[in-house]
Amino acid sequence: MPAKNPRQLQTSATVPTLIVAVVDAGTATALSAAPGTGLEHVARQLIIVNNNTTAEVVQIFYCNSTTVTTVNKIIETSVPADSTTILYVNYRIAATYYLLGEATTTNKVAVTIIGDVEAV
């Protein structure tokens, strides 16, 4: 039987969904809540669904507030019309930080973050 990571709080076979959010245009939308003291989120997948009839440019930011700048941008990708893009990542989100998202059009793009919650 393989050893389990003692730092990992979620030890079940299923990987938890950290959050699902609809991304707005022109305003960064929180995609993750700050994990809290003693915890970190580890994002493993970003599933980006575009429900629009045209391509959407999606930007993801890593920041310690809900005010973002281009310095905080970690991903910018174009998602084709009526399609899903899956990005495999390994982002550790510290206790006071957030992932935030922004798209070209409001209420047309949904982002699901799959990952783990770990004690630090």
pLDDT of residue 7: 47
3-class DSSP assignment, residue 71: helix
| C-alpha distances in Å from residue 99, one per residue of 5, 16, 52, 67, 104 | 25, 16, 23, 11, 17
- Per the domain annotation, does 59 fall within a domain? yes
- The span from the CA of 71 to the CA of 59, in Å, is 12
Q: 1-47 pLDDT, tens per residue?
A: 455 444 444 445 455 676 777 887 877 787 777 777 888 888 899 99
Q: Give me the amino acid identity at 102.
A: E
pLDDT digits (tens, 9 = 90+) for 90-105: 988 888 888 888 888 8
The answer to whether residue 7 is domain-embedded is no
Q: Which structural domain, as residue segments, surrounds residue 89?
A: 17-119
Residue 73 forms part of a structural domain: yes
- The residues pairing with 114 across neighbouring beta strands, listed in sequence order, are 17, 45
Q: Which domain CATH number covers 41?
A: 2.60.120
Query: What's the pLDDT at 14?
Result: 56
Distance from C-alpha of 80 to C-alpha of 67, rounded to nearest angstrom? 27
pLDDT of residue 80: 95
Name the domain count of the chain. 1
Question: Per-residue pLDDT for 107 more than 80?
Answer: yes
